[in-house]
């Protein structure tokens, strides 16, 4: 069974990181240093999201990395390797 908290953490970190990277273009227009800092901060948020996704969100049956983090739905995605549905807790 997959942990829903890891999926939530992964989704939130990824969205916040992408939002900060999108702000880098706006801040970079005024000053290059602000743009670089924003981009680095966004990348620093996206990297842990990817680590959580590839380390903790795996198929419970075969152990392959494959399921995309889901916020609330159960059983809608299947493993490409074994074909079983991904079931999250709660």
Q: Which pLDDT does position 44 carry in this prediction?
A: 95
Count other C-beta atoms under 10 Å from residue 30's C-beta: 9
Q: Which pLDDT does position 16 carry in this prediction?
A: 95
The rounded distance, in Å, linking the Cα atoms of 20 and 13 is: 11
23-80 pLDDT per residue, tens: 888 887 788 888 888 999 999 999 999 998 888 888 777 877 767 777 777 667 777 7
Q: Which pLDDT does position 40 carry in this prediction?
A: 92
Q: pTM to 2 decimals?
A: 0.79
pLDDT at 1 over 70: no
Q: Which pLDDT does position 28 carry in this prediction?
A: 79
């Amino acid at each position: 069974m997959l942990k829903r908290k890891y999926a939530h953490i992964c989704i939130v970190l990824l969205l916040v990181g992408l939002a900060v990277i999108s702000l880098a273009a706006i801040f970079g227009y005024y000053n290059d240093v602000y743009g670089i800092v924003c981009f680095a901060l966004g990348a620093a948020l996206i990297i842990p999201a990817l680590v959580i996704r590839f380390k903790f969100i795996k198929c419970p049956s075969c152990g392959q990395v494959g399921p995309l983090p889901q916020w609330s739905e159960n059983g809608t995605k299947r493993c490409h390797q074994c074909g079983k549905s991904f079931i999250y807790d709660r």
